[in-house]
Amino acid sequence: MTPFSPHLVAAAAALLGLLATAVAGGGTGAYTRVFSFGDSLTDTGNALHLPSTGGGGGPASRPPYGETFFRRPTGRASDGRLAVDFIVEALRLRHPAPYLAAGGETAAEFRHGVNFAVGGSTALPPEFYEGRGLKPFVPVSLANQTAWFDKVLQILGSSDHGRRKIMASSLFIVGEIGVNDYLVSLVGNLTVGEVETSVVPHIVAAIRSTVNEVIAAGATTVVVPGMIPLGCEPQLLALYQGGGGGGVAGDDYDPESGCMTRLNGLAEHHNRELRRAVAELRGAHPGASVVVAYADLYRAVADIVASPGRHGFGGAPLAACCGAGAGAYNFDMAAFCGAAGSTACADPSTYVSWDGVHFTEAANRHIACAVLEAGAPPAVSTAPMTWPAAAEAGRSRIGCS
Ligand SMILES: *[C@@H]1O[C@H](CO)[C@@H](O)[C@H](O)[C@H]1NC(C)=O
Ligand SMILES: *[C@@H]1O[C@H](CO)[C@@H](O)[C@H](O)[C@H]1NC(C)=O
């Protein structure tokens, strides 16, 4: 008898094959990279490279941004890591390359995933706003990000089969996107009612279109984060303080949280429509081969604001850590975080809002946990990529409660 019986060899070969599949993420659970789309809540360095913002300008390029983690400004709009950073940590993946920071020429640059999110980006294109006399902050919409994805797709693989294999083992995160659309609309004096009827449906359609594109390219796991509670944002609370501005009544506060109910209502409306779209997307891709999961960012943030102490935060969940103005919200547009006259709090980990617009690293961890908790329909246990299991393991890795 030879030391290697045919049976053993066959068994060993099968085991090696299994291991190889697992390592390559080709069908047994592990994701190999992340592709993300969105705005400043997800931008890890793209806006820095946008010529229209002065190329390298913007508060996030200056201290004290990055003071808690990275220990230098990286273009992230926070004192440290963003939710997407925690998600790749949780899944033990490399950080996806910010698309505009990469040279955009070689597959090697994008092999570990790509982050297409740009600070200031809207879901809807400039043409949508021009017709309404409104002006977006930057010339980037979800359509640009999707077009960049198509370019990356061509760069990554020459064969359709090869490309689809890469997409199938990747995690896609489409959003949060839409905050800037709402800011542009509200600052431009559209009423909340007008925004709900004439802007929300277009934003949800734009998100749905991007999800459809990535699925068409071979994506099998797409997480769609919803809208944050707009009415709890220090910037908007300060803007509408005293009843000023457009169609948002100033006296319309939730007595418990102090957040503005009309703006939170807009966010909840967005989320209802988005969840409906997610359900339809699942219906359009029946069976267990594609996971489309909705992530409840609204609840993640609203929970901290409602009971900050229970989640390890301090007693001022509606005040910016870094800013000026001293009022309840510590927000003054003229002395934005990093500008002359602004100061950062001593311990950002006790604040929800970093600069009145964006979250602290501590809050971003909670948001990442919400993304990793994103609900997938029960049938997905046989999906090629086991989203619920991978996400659950990742949650404990980054300390989600
Ligand atoms: C985004 O797309 C629009 C319209 O196609 C284009 O005008 C704009 O330059 C693009 N933005 C960037 C940063 O490429
Ligand atoms: C919005 O309304 C305020 C006052 O109600 C006005 O000062 C401001 O110019 C308006 N903004 C736009 C973009 O129309």
Task: Report the residue among 184, 189, 195 best suited for mutation to probe ligand 2: largest number of ligand atoms under 8 A from its CB.
Answer: 189
User: Is 257 an active-site residue?
Assistant: no
Q: How far apart are CA 387 and CA 75, in angstroms?
A: 29
According to DSSP, residue 375 is labeled: B
Domain membership of residue 45 (yes or no) is yes
Q: How far apart are CA 120 and CA 192, in angstroms?
A: 20
Residue 160 reports pLDDT greater than 70 = yes
Mean pLDDT in residue range 335-361: 97
188 lines ligand 2 (CB under 6 A): yes
Question: Separation of 146 CA from ligand 1 center, angstroms?
Answer: 11
Question: Separation of 235 CA from ligand 1 center, angstroms?
Answer: 28
HSE (side-chain half, CA atoms, 13 Å) at 342? 24
Domain membership of residue 153 (yes or no) is yes
Residue 360's nearest CA partner among 78, 71, 60 is 78
Residue 39's nearest CA partner among 156, 154, 136, 147 is 136
Q: What percent of the chain is modeled with pLDDT above 90? A: 75
Residue 194's nearest CA partner among 133, 243, 275 is 133
Q: How far apart are CA 274 and CA 301, in angstroms?
A: 18
**Catalytic residue (choose from 36, 39, 40, 342):** 40
* Inter-residue contact 96 to 114 (CB < 8 Å): yes
Domain membership of residue 353 (yes or no) is no
Domain membership of residue 398 (yes or no) is no
* Inter-residue contact 118 to 145 (CB < 8 Å): yes
104 lines ligand 1 (CB under 6 A): no
The least confident of 60-74, 142-156, 236-250, 338-352 is: 236-250
374 lines ligand 1 (CB under 6 A): no
Domain membership of residue 29 (yes or no) is yes
Domain membership of residue 3 (yes or no) is no
> Which sign, positive or negative, has the C-alpha torsion 241, 242, 244, 249?
positive
Residue 128's nearest CA partner among 181, 178, 71 is 181
Q: How far apart are CA 118 and CA 386, in angstroms?
A: 29
* Peptide bond between residue 176 and the one before it cis (omega within 30 degrees of 0): yes
* Inter-residue contact 361 to 355 (CB < 8 Å): no
State which amino acid sits at residue 35. F
Q: How many domains does the chain have?
A: 1
Q: How far apart are CA 358 and CA 227, in angstroms?
A: 13
pLDDT in tens, 161-201: 999 999 999 999 999 999 999 999 998 889 999 999 999 99
The Cα diameter of the chain in Å comes to 90
Residue 302 reports pLDDT greater than 80 = yes
Question: Separation of 360 CA from ligand 1 center, angstroms?
Answer: 30
Residue-range definition of the domain harbouring residue 83 = 9-232+247-297+368-376
Question: Separation of 245 CA from ligand 2 center, angstroms?
Answer: 7
Domain membership of residue 326 (yes or no) is no
Q: Which protein residue's CA is at the shortest distance from atom 8 of ligand 1?
A: 139
State which amino acid sits at residue 299. R
Give the pLDDT band of residue 359 (cuts 50, 70, 90).
very high
Neighbouring residues of 270: CB distance < 8 A, sequence distance ≥ 6: 178, 182, 200, 203, 204, 226, 227
Note the pLDDT of residue 292: 93
For 23, 154, 310, the CA distances from 159, given in Å and listed in that order, are 21, 9, 51
Domain membership of residue 270 (yes or no) is yes
User: Is 43 an active-site residue?
Assistant: no
State which amino acid sits at residue 80. G
User: Is 355 an active-site residue?
Assistant: yes
What CATH number is attached to the domain comprising 113?
3.40.50
